[in-house]
Amino acid sequence: MEGALRAIRTVKASRAEARESERVISEATESARQSVRAIRYESVAWTVAGFGIGLATLLILGLGAWRVSENLLTVSALVAFLLYAFQLMEPVGTLTQTVSGLQSGVAAAMRIREVDAFEIEPSDTDRPSRTTTEGRSTLTFENVTARYAPGAAPALQDVSLTIPREGHTAIVGPSGAGKTTMFSLLLRFLNPDSGRLVLDEIPLPEWSLEDLRRRIGYVEQDTPLVPGTLRENLLYTHADAGEPALWEALRAVRLEDRVRELPDGLDTVLSTAAISGGERQRIALARALVSDPEILLLDEATAQLDGLTEAAVHEVIARVARTGAVLTIAHRLSTVIDADQIVVLESGQVRARGTHQELLQTDDLYRDLVAALRIATQV
Ligand code: ADP
Protein backbone atom coordinates (compact mmCIF):
# COMPACT_ATOMS: atom_id res chain seq x y z
CA MET A 1 0.00 0.00 0.00
CA GLU A 2 2.85 2.31 0.82
CA GLY A 3 4.44 1.64 -2.56
CA ALA A 4 1.15 2.35 -4.34
CA LEU A 5 0.60 5.56 -2.41
CA ARG A 6 4.09 6.82 -3.09
CA ALA A 7 3.46 6.28 -6.78
CA ILE A 8 -0.15 7.51 -6.54
CA ARG A 9 0.16 9.82 -9.54
CA THR A 10 1.40 6.91 -11.69
CA VAL A 11 -1.37 4.67 -10.31
CA LYS A 12 -4.07 7.20 -11.25
CA ALA A 13 -2.51 8.06 -14.60
CA SER A 14 -2.40 4.32 -15.38
CA ARG A 15 -6.08 3.89 -14.41
CA ALA A 16 -4.94 1.23 -11.95
CA GLU A 17 -6.98 2.34 -8.93
CA ALA A 18 -9.22 -0.73 -8.96
CA ARG A 19 -6.30 -3.12 -9.53
CA GLU A 20 -4.32 -1.55 -6.70
CA SER A 21 -7.31 -1.61 -4.33
CA GLU A 22 -7.86 -5.28 -5.10
CA ARG A 23 -4.21 -6.11 -4.49
CA VAL A 24 -4.18 -4.20 -1.22
CA ILE A 25 -7.40 -5.88 -0.05
CA SER A 26 -6.14 -9.37 -0.87
CA GLU A 27 -2.90 -8.64 0.95
CA ALA A 28 -4.82 -7.23 3.91
CA THR A 29 -6.95 -10.40 4.04
CA GLU A 30 -3.82 -12.53 4.00
CA SER A 31 -2.32 -10.32 6.70
CA ALA A 32 -5.46 -10.75 8.85
CA ARG A 33 -5.24 -14.53 8.44
CA GLN A 34 -1.60 -14.48 9.48
CA SER A 35 -2.41 -12.26 12.47
CA VAL A 36 -5.01 -14.72 13.72
CA ARG A 37 -2.45 -17.50 13.32
CA ALA A 38 0.12 -15.46 15.22
CA ILE A 39 -2.32 -14.86 18.05
CA ARG A 40 -3.06 -18.57 18.22
CA TYR A 41 0.64 -19.36 18.55
CA GLU A 42 1.00 -16.59 21.08
CA SER A 43 -1.80 -18.01 23.24
CA VAL A 44 -0.19 -21.45 23.15
CA ALA A 45 3.17 -19.91 24.05
CA TRP A 46 1.68 -17.97 26.96
CA THR A 47 -0.08 -21.06 28.25
CA VAL A 48 3.11 -23.11 28.09
CA ALA A 49 5.11 -20.27 29.68
CA GLY A 50 2.48 -19.80 32.43
CA PHE A 51 2.55 -23.52 33.13
CA GLY A 52 6.37 -23.37 33.29
CA ILE A 53 6.31 -20.46 35.72
CA GLY A 54 3.78 -22.30 37.91
CA LEU A 55 5.94 -25.39 37.84
CA ALA A 56 9.06 -23.38 38.76
CA THR A 57 7.21 -21.76 41.66
CA LEU A 58 6.14 -25.18 42.87
CA LEU A 59 9.74 -26.39 42.68
CA ILE A 60 11.04 -23.36 44.62
CA LEU A 61 8.34 -23.86 47.23
CA GLY A 62 9.10 -27.59 47.47
CA LEU A 63 12.83 -27.04 47.74
CA GLY A 64 12.30 -24.11 50.18
CA ALA A 65 9.93 -26.17 52.34
CA TRP A 66 12.46 -29.01 52.46
CA ARG A 67 15.25 -26.57 53.50
CA VAL A 68 12.95 -25.04 56.13
CA SER A 69 12.16 -28.50 57.54
CA GLU A 70 15.89 -29.24 57.72
CA ASN A 71 16.38 -25.88 59.54
CA LEU A 72 18.65 -24.55 56.76
CA LEU A 73 16.29 -21.61 55.97
CA THR A 74 13.76 -19.60 57.94
CA VAL A 75 10.16 -19.38 56.68
CA SER A 76 10.35 -15.58 56.57
CA ALA A 77 13.42 -15.68 54.29
CA LEU A 78 11.66 -18.05 51.91
CA VAL A 79 8.54 -15.84 51.76
CA ALA A 80 10.65 -12.70 51.22
CA PHE A 81 12.57 -14.42 48.39
CA LEU A 82 9.35 -15.38 46.64
CA LEU A 83 7.81 -11.91 47.03
CA TYR A 84 10.86 -10.17 45.60
CA ALA A 85 10.95 -12.54 42.66
CA PHE A 86 7.25 -11.94 41.88
CA GLN A 87 7.54 -8.18 42.24
CA LEU A 88 10.36 -8.01 39.70
CA MET A 89 8.67 -10.19 37.13
CA GLU A 90 5.60 -8.04 36.59
CA PRO A 91 7.09 -4.57 35.95
CA VAL A 92 9.65 -5.94 33.48
CA GLY A 93 6.90 -7.70 31.51
CA THR A 94 4.66 -4.60 31.51
CA LEU A 95 7.50 -2.36 30.35
CA THR A 96 8.34 -4.45 27.27
CA GLN A 97 4.67 -4.79 26.33
CA THR A 98 4.00 -1.06 26.64
CA VAL A 99 7.02 0.01 24.60
CA SER A 100 6.29 -2.31 21.67
CA GLY A 101 2.58 -1.45 21.80
CA LEU A 102 3.34 2.26 21.72
CA GLN A 103 5.72 1.92 18.77
CA SER A 104 3.35 -0.01 16.56
CA GLY A 105 0.50 2.35 17.53
CA VAL A 106 2.45 5.43 16.45
CA ALA A 107 3.52 3.82 13.15
CA ALA A 108 -0.04 2.71 12.38
CA ALA A 109 -1.48 6.16 13.15
CA MET A 110 0.99 7.78 10.77
CA ARG A 111 0.11 5.39 7.93
CA ILE A 112 -3.62 5.90 8.48
CA ARG A 113 -3.15 9.65 8.22
CA GLU A 114 -1.26 9.20 4.92
CA VAL A 115 -4.03 7.00 3.51
CA ASP A 116 -6.64 9.55 4.58
CA ALA A 117 -4.90 12.25 2.57
CA PHE A 118 -5.28 10.44 -0.76
CA GLU A 119 -8.26 9.76 -2.92
CA ILE A 120 -7.72 6.46 -4.69
CA GLU A 121 -11.23 5.90 -6.09
CA PRO A 122 -11.64 6.70 -9.78
CA SER A 123 -13.65 9.89 -9.93
CA ASP A 124 -16.02 9.37 -12.86
CA THR A 125 -15.72 5.95 -14.42
CA ASP A 126 -19.19 5.79 -15.94
CA ARG A 127 -18.88 8.86 -18.14
CA PRO A 128 -19.36 7.83 -21.79
CA SER A 129 -16.19 7.41 -23.83
CA ARG A 130 -15.35 9.84 -26.58
CA THR A 131 -13.39 8.64 -29.55
CA THR A 132 -10.44 10.47 -30.99
CA THR A 133 -11.18 13.06 -33.61
CA GLU A 134 -9.08 13.07 -36.74
CA GLY A 135 -6.60 15.71 -37.75
CA ARG A 136 -3.72 17.66 -36.34
CA SER A 137 -5.53 19.33 -33.50
CA THR A 138 -3.80 20.68 -30.47
CA LEU A 139 -3.74 20.65 -26.74
CA THR A 140 -4.56 24.07 -25.37
CA PHE A 141 -4.78 25.91 -22.09
CA GLU A 142 -7.34 28.74 -22.37
CA ASN A 143 -7.05 31.37 -19.61
CA VAL A 144 -6.54 28.69 -17.01
CA THR A 145 -6.45 29.66 -13.35
CA ALA A 146 -6.00 26.87 -10.80
CA ARG A 147 -5.84 26.70 -7.02
CA TYR A 148 -5.26 23.82 -4.63
CA ALA A 149 -7.84 25.05 -2.12
CA PRO A 150 -10.68 27.58 -2.28
CA GLY A 151 -9.31 30.98 -1.38
CA ALA A 152 -5.67 29.88 -1.68
CA ALA A 153 -3.25 31.81 -3.87
CA PRO A 154 -3.52 30.57 -7.49
CA ALA A 155 -0.86 28.04 -8.51
CA LEU A 156 -1.52 29.00 -12.14
CA GLN A 157 -3.03 32.30 -13.18
CA ASP A 158 -4.62 33.07 -16.52
CA VAL A 159 -2.37 30.72 -18.47
CA SER A 160 -3.02 30.46 -22.19
CA LEU A 161 -0.85 28.10 -24.16
CA THR A 162 -0.97 25.99 -27.28
CA ILE A 163 0.93 22.74 -27.32
CA PRO A 164 1.39 21.32 -30.82
CA ARG A 165 0.33 17.70 -31.18
CA GLU A 166 3.76 16.90 -32.50
CA GLY A 167 7.11 17.99 -31.16
CA HIS A 168 8.74 18.70 -27.86
CA THR A 169 7.64 21.47 -25.52
CA ALA A 170 9.85 22.08 -22.48
CA ILE A 171 8.56 23.91 -19.42
CA VAL A 172 11.14 25.73 -17.35
CA GLY A 173 10.82 28.04 -14.39
CA PRO A 174 11.87 28.46 -10.79
CA SER A 175 10.59 26.04 -8.19
CA GLY A 176 6.95 26.76 -7.28
CA ALA A 177 6.28 28.40 -10.67
CA GLY A 178 3.45 25.97 -11.43
CA LYS A 179 5.11 23.41 -13.72
CA THR A 180 3.82 20.34 -11.89
CA THR A 181 0.39 21.97 -11.64
CA MET A 182 0.21 22.01 -15.46
CA PHE A 183 0.72 18.23 -15.52
CA SER A 184 -1.84 17.76 -12.74
CA LEU A 185 -4.40 19.72 -14.78
CA LEU A 186 -3.71 17.70 -17.93
CA LEU A 187 -4.18 14.42 -16.07
CA ARG A 188 -7.17 15.90 -14.24
CA PHE A 189 -5.75 15.32 -10.78
CA LEU A 190 -6.86 18.93 -10.41
CA ASN A 191 -9.59 20.89 -12.20
CA PRO A 192 -9.15 24.55 -13.13
CA ASP A 193 -10.95 27.25 -11.17
CA SER A 194 -11.63 29.15 -14.34
CA GLY A 195 -10.67 28.79 -17.98
CA ARG A 196 -10.44 25.41 -19.67
CA LEU A 197 -8.15 22.83 -21.19
CA VAL A 198 -9.00 21.44 -24.59
CA LEU A 199 -7.68 18.27 -26.20
CA ASP A 200 -8.54 17.53 -29.80
CA GLU A 201 -11.14 20.30 -29.73
CA ILE A 202 -12.96 18.61 -26.85
CA PRO A 203 -12.81 20.25 -23.41
CA LEU A 204 -11.08 18.02 -20.88
CA PRO A 205 -14.12 17.44 -18.59
CA GLU A 206 -15.96 15.87 -21.55
CA TRP A 207 -13.32 13.17 -21.89
CA SER A 208 -13.79 10.19 -19.63
CA LEU A 209 -10.86 9.86 -17.23
CA GLU A 210 -10.22 6.43 -18.70
CA ASP A 211 -9.89 7.73 -22.27
CA LEU A 212 -7.92 10.79 -21.29
CA ARG A 213 -5.36 8.97 -19.20
CA ARG A 214 -5.08 6.12 -21.69
CA ARG A 215 -3.70 8.54 -24.25
CA ILE A 216 -1.18 10.13 -21.95
CA GLY A 217 2.11 8.51 -20.96
CA TYR A 218 3.27 9.97 -17.67
CA VAL A 219 6.67 9.62 -16.04
CA GLU A 220 6.86 10.94 -12.50
CA GLN A 221 10.01 12.48 -11.19
CA ASP A 222 10.95 10.62 -8.03
CA THR A 223 9.01 7.45 -7.39
CA PRO A 224 8.24 5.96 -10.75
CA LEU A 225 8.22 2.22 -9.93
CA VAL A 226 5.52 0.20 -8.22
CA PRO A 227 6.25 -2.89 -6.11
CA GLY A 228 6.41 -6.12 -8.10
CA THR A 229 8.34 -7.59 -11.00
CA LEU A 230 9.80 -5.80 -13.97
CA ARG A 231 7.09 -7.26 -16.20
CA GLU A 232 4.34 -6.00 -13.86
CA ASN A 233 5.87 -2.55 -13.93
CA LEU A 234 6.07 -2.46 -17.70
CA LEU A 235 2.50 -3.73 -18.08
CA TYR A 236 1.21 -1.37 -15.40
CA THR A 237 -0.30 1.27 -17.63
CA HIS A 238 -1.33 -1.02 -20.50
CA ALA A 239 -1.96 -4.47 -19.09
CA ASP A 240 -2.81 -5.97 -22.50
CA ALA A 241 0.52 -5.22 -24.21
CA GLY A 242 2.32 -8.22 -25.71
CA GLU A 243 5.82 -9.38 -24.87
CA PRO A 244 7.40 -7.98 -28.09
CA ALA A 245 6.14 -4.49 -27.13
CA LEU A 246 7.87 -4.81 -23.76
CA TRP A 247 11.20 -5.75 -25.34
CA GLU A 248 10.83 -2.98 -27.91
CA ALA A 249 10.31 -0.45 -25.10
CA LEU A 250 13.30 -1.83 -23.18
CA ARG A 251 15.41 -1.57 -26.33
CA ALA A 252 14.38 2.06 -26.76
CA VAL A 253 15.65 2.91 -23.28
CA ARG A 254 18.80 0.81 -23.74
CA LEU A 255 17.88 -1.75 -21.12
CA GLU A 256 17.35 -4.77 -23.34
CA ASP A 257 20.79 -6.34 -22.79
CA ARG A 258 20.77 -5.61 -19.09
CA VAL A 259 17.39 -7.33 -18.65
CA ARG A 260 18.42 -10.33 -20.78
CA GLU A 261 21.38 -10.81 -18.41
CA LEU A 262 19.15 -10.94 -15.31
CA PRO A 263 18.60 -14.57 -14.25
CA ASP A 264 14.81 -14.07 -14.01
CA GLY A 265 14.60 -11.64 -16.95
CA LEU A 266 11.27 -9.83 -17.04
CA ASP A 267 10.15 -11.70 -13.93
CA THR A 268 12.85 -10.18 -11.73
CA VAL A 269 11.36 -8.76 -8.55
CA LEU A 270 12.58 -5.18 -8.52
CA SER A 271 12.95 -4.85 -4.77
CA THR A 272 15.44 -7.74 -4.73
CA ALA A 273 17.46 -6.77 -7.80
CA ALA A 274 20.32 -4.29 -7.72
CA ILE A 275 18.79 -1.55 -9.87
CA SER A 276 20.44 1.85 -10.08
CA GLY A 277 18.60 5.18 -9.96
CA GLY A 278 19.21 5.64 -13.69
CA GLU A 279 17.86 2.18 -14.48
CA ARG A 280 14.74 2.86 -12.43
CA GLN A 281 14.17 6.01 -14.46
CA ARG A 282 14.64 4.06 -17.68
CA ILE A 283 12.18 1.37 -16.58
CA ALA A 284 9.64 4.10 -15.88
CA LEU A 285 10.28 5.57 -19.33
CA ALA A 286 9.91 2.14 -20.93
CA ARG A 287 6.56 1.75 -19.19
CA ALA A 288 5.34 4.97 -20.77
CA LEU A 289 6.58 3.79 -24.18
CA VAL A 290 4.89 0.38 -24.13
CA SER A 291 1.68 1.88 -25.46
CA ASP A 292 3.13 4.40 -27.95
CA PRO A 293 1.57 7.37 -26.14
CA GLU A 294 0.16 10.26 -28.16
CA ILE A 295 1.15 12.62 -25.38
CA LEU A 296 4.13 12.03 -23.14
CA LEU A 297 4.43 13.99 -19.90
CA LEU A 298 7.93 13.68 -18.53
CA ASP A 299 8.96 15.14 -15.23
CA GLU A 300 12.69 14.88 -15.62
CA ALA A 301 14.65 13.54 -12.64
CA THR A 302 16.69 16.19 -10.86
CA ALA A 303 19.22 13.69 -9.53
CA GLN A 304 22.53 13.44 -11.35
CA LEU A 305 21.93 10.50 -13.63
CA ASP A 306 24.38 8.49 -15.69
CA GLY A 307 25.19 9.35 -19.29
CA LEU A 308 23.42 6.30 -20.65
CA THR A 309 20.16 7.31 -18.97
CA GLU A 310 20.48 10.86 -20.23
CA ALA A 311 21.02 9.59 -23.77
CA ALA A 312 18.05 7.23 -23.42
CA VAL A 313 15.83 10.09 -22.24
CA HIS A 314 16.86 12.11 -25.29
CA GLU A 315 16.18 9.33 -27.72
CA VAL A 316 12.78 8.67 -26.18
CA ILE A 317 11.83 12.35 -26.36
CA ALA A 318 12.94 12.55 -30.00
CA ARG A 319 11.15 9.33 -30.89
CA VAL A 320 7.80 10.24 -29.32
CA ALA A 321 8.03 13.85 -30.55
CA ARG A 322 8.09 12.63 -34.16
CA THR A 323 4.50 11.44 -33.95
CA GLY A 324 3.11 12.92 -30.75
CA ALA A 325 3.41 15.69 -28.19
CA VAL A 326 6.14 15.53 -25.57
CA LEU A 327 5.84 17.88 -22.65
CA THR A 328 8.79 17.94 -20.28
CA ILE A 329 9.46 19.64 -17.00
CA ALA A 330 13.08 20.05 -17.91
CA HIS A 331 15.86 19.99 -15.36
CA ARG A 332 18.71 19.45 -17.78
CA LEU A 333 20.21 21.96 -20.12
CA SER A 334 20.46 19.45 -22.96
CA THR A 335 16.73 18.69 -22.72
CA VAL A 336 15.86 22.39 -22.85
CA ILE A 337 18.12 23.22 -25.78
CA ASP A 338 16.66 20.46 -27.94
CA ALA A 339 13.04 21.47 -27.38
CA ASP A 340 11.00 22.84 -30.28
CA GLN A 341 9.24 25.22 -27.97
CA ILE A 342 10.25 26.42 -24.50
CA VAL A 343 7.74 27.89 -22.07
CA VAL A 344 9.10 29.99 -19.22
CA LEU A 345 6.79 29.97 -16.21
CA GLU A 346 7.08 32.39 -13.32
CA SER A 347 4.74 32.69 -10.32
CA GLY A 348 1.98 30.77 -12.09
CA GLN A 349 2.12 32.82 -15.29
CA VAL A 350 3.62 32.28 -18.72
CA ARG A 351 6.41 34.78 -18.86
CA ALA A 352 7.92 33.97 -22.24
CA ARG A 353 7.80 31.45 -25.05
CA GLY A 354 10.16 30.59 -27.87
CA THR A 355 13.19 28.62 -28.90
CA HIS A 356 16.43 28.50 -26.93
CA GLN A 357 18.11 31.12 -29.13
CA GLU A 358 15.13 33.49 -29.09
CA LEU A 359 14.74 33.30 -25.33
CA LEU A 360 18.46 33.73 -24.70
CA GLN A 361 18.22 37.07 -26.46
CA THR A 362 14.93 38.27 -25.04
CA ASP A 363 14.39 36.92 -21.53
CA ASP A 364 16.48 37.66 -18.42
CA LEU A 365 14.92 34.94 -16.28
CA TYR A 366 15.58 32.37 -19.00
CA ARG A 367 19.22 33.45 -19.20
CA ASP A 368 19.50 33.02 -15.39
CA LEU A 369 17.83 29.61 -15.48
CA VAL A 370 20.12 28.44 -18.27
CA ALA A 371 23.16 29.70 -16.36
CA ALA A 372 22.03 27.74 -13.29
CA LEU A 373 21.45 24.59 -15.39
CA ARG A 374 24.86 25.02 -16.99
CA ILE A 375 26.51 25.10 -13.55
CA ALA A 376 24.49 22.05 -12.45
CA THR A 377 25.58 20.23 -15.62
CA GLN A 378 29.25 21.00 -15.04
CA VAL A 379 29.22 19.74 -11.40
P1 ADP B 1 6.75 23.67 -9.71
O2 ADP B 1 6.43 22.32 -10.24
O3 ADP B 1 7.01 24.68 -10.77
O4 ADP B 1 7.85 23.66 -8.69
P5 ADP B 1 4.12 23.52 -8.52
O6 ADP B 1 3.20 23.40 -9.68
O7 ADP B 1 4.42 22.27 -7.78
O8 ADP B 1 5.47 24.24 -8.95
O9 ADP B 1 3.54 24.56 -7.48
C10 ADP B 1 2.92 25.78 -7.82
C11 ADP B 1 2.32 26.38 -6.55
O12 ADP B 1 1.28 25.56 -6.07
C13 ADP B 1 3.32 26.53 -5.42
O14 ADP B 1 3.07 27.76 -4.80
C15 ADP B 1 3.00 25.39 -4.50
O16 ADP B 1 3.24 25.75 -3.16
C17 ADP B 1 1.52 25.16 -4.74
N18 ADP B 1 1.19 23.72 -4.61
C19 ADP B 1 1.69 22.71 -5.35
N20 ADP B 1 1.15 21.53 -5.00
C21 ADP B 1 0.29 21.79 -3.99
C22 ADP B 1 -0.59 20.98 -3.20
N23 ADP B 1 -0.68 19.65 -3.38
N24 ADP B 1 -1.33 21.61 -2.26
C25 ADP B 1 -1.25 22.95 -2.08
N26 ADP B 1 -0.46 23.76 -2.80
C27 ADP B 1 0.31 23.21 -3.74
Mutate to test the pocket of ligand 1, among 147, 180, 346 (most ligand atoms within 8 A of CB): 180
Digit-coded pLDDT (tens) for 29-68: 999 998 999 889 888 888 887 888 888 888 988 999 999 9
- Ligand 1 centroid–CA 352 distance in Å is 20
Enumerate residues 6+ apart whose C-beta is below 8 A from 115.
Answer: 1, 5
Atom 26 of ligand 1 has which residue's CA nearest to it? 148
Closest residue by CA, ligand 1 atom 22: 148
Which pLDDT tens digit goes with each residue over 225-272? Answer: 888 888 888 888 887 888 888 888 888 888 888 888 888 888 888 776
Angle between helices 277-289 and 243-252 (to 10 degrees): 130
Counting ligand 1 atoms within 8 A of each CB, the residue from 114, 144, 148, 350 with the most, and so the one to mutate, is 148
Question: How many Å apart are CA 56 and CA 266, to the nearest integer?
Answer: 57
Say how many Å lie between the CA of residue 65 and the centre of ligand 1. Answer: 77
The CB density around residue 92, as the number of other CB atoms within 10 Å, is: 9
Which one-letter DSSP state was computed for residue 196? E
Instruction: Give me the pLDDT at residue 22, please.
Output: 92
| Model confidence pLDDT, tens digit, residues 8-34 | 888 888 888 898 899 899 999 999 998
Dump pLDDT digits (tens) for 92-137: 778 777 877 888 889 889 888 877 766 555 555 444 444 444 445 5
Above 90 in pLDDT, residue 69?
A: yes
Helices marked H in the chain: 2-6, 8-13, 17-69, 75-116, 179-186, 209-215, 230-234, 243-252, 256-261, 277-289, 307-323, 333-338, 356-362, 364-378
Q: How far apart are CA 263 and CA 239, in angstroms?
A: 23
- d(CA 182, CA 33) in angstroms, rounded, equals 44
Q: Model pTM?
A: 0.70
Distance, CA 114 to ligand 1 centroid (Å)?
Answer: 19
The binding-site residues of ligand 1, defined as CB within 6 angstroms of any ligand atom, are 148, 155, 173, 175-181
235: nearest Cα among 218, 13, 243, 7: 243
- What are the strands of the beta sheet with 194-199, ordered from one edge? 156-163, 139-146, 194-199, 202-203
Give, in order, the Cα–Cα distances in Å from 74 to each of 58, 64, 108, 278, 319: 18, 9, 53, 76, 93
- Residue 186: closest CA among 296, 105, 271: 296
Per the CATH hierarchy, to which homologous superfamily does domain 137-372 belong?
P-loop containing nucleotide triphosphate hydrolases (3.40.50.300)
Tell me how crowded residue 214 is: count the other CB atoms within 10 A of its CB.
19
Could you say which of 300, 310, 315, 346 is catalytic?
A: 300
Q: With pLDDT > 70 as the criterion, what percentage of the chain qualifies?
A: 92
Q: What is the mean pLDDT of the chain?
A: 84
DSSP state of 1: -
Question: What is the residue with the minimal CA distance to atom 7 of ligand 1?
Answer: 180
